[in-house]
Structure 1
Amino acid sequence: MATAKKPTARRRSPKPEPAKCPDCDGTGETTETVRVGPRKGRATDDHQTVLCLTCLGTGDDTTD
């Protein structure tokens, strides 16, 4: 009688990392210039960190 084959463990290849977002370079955040004034919106030397609108903060390139 033939012997039964032993099951072999399958090795899974690691998933490729998603591409980085081109707008925020994979950080998920960008900087915006602070503007003041009701009419012209004069730009100041201050900056604020905002969520990247392209990837919504994930840092992954979601464009196809």
Structure 2
Amino acid sequence: MAATKTPEPTPAQCSVCKGTGEVSRTVLVGRKRRAVGQQTGLCLNCLGSGEAPTDQP
């Protein structure tokens, strides 16, 4: 009998970056910390993968 292969479940998206792997941060300059714009950076929750982190080792 032929073995049927079960499809792997798709991983859930990261809730912080919405699956993109990047987050926007406000850029502050000067002594009064004036906001001048935004810069994208790596999502620290999923480390840029876009997948929700799991508790499994």
Q: TM-score range by the shorter chain?
A: 0.7 to 0.9
Identical amino acids, percent of aligned pairs: 55
d(CA) in 2 for partners of 1:27 and 1:57? 8
Q: Is 1:40 paired with 2:32?
A: yes
* TM norm structure 1: 0.76
Which entry has the higher C-alpha Rg, 1 or 2? 1
* TM norm structure 2: 0.84
Cα distance 1:13–1:63, how it changes in 2: closer, same or farther (>3 A)? closer
Q: Which residue of 1 aligns with 2:47?
A: 56
- SS of 1:17's partner is coil
RMSD over aligned Cα atoms: 1.3
The runs of 5 or more residues in structure 2 that have no matched partner are none
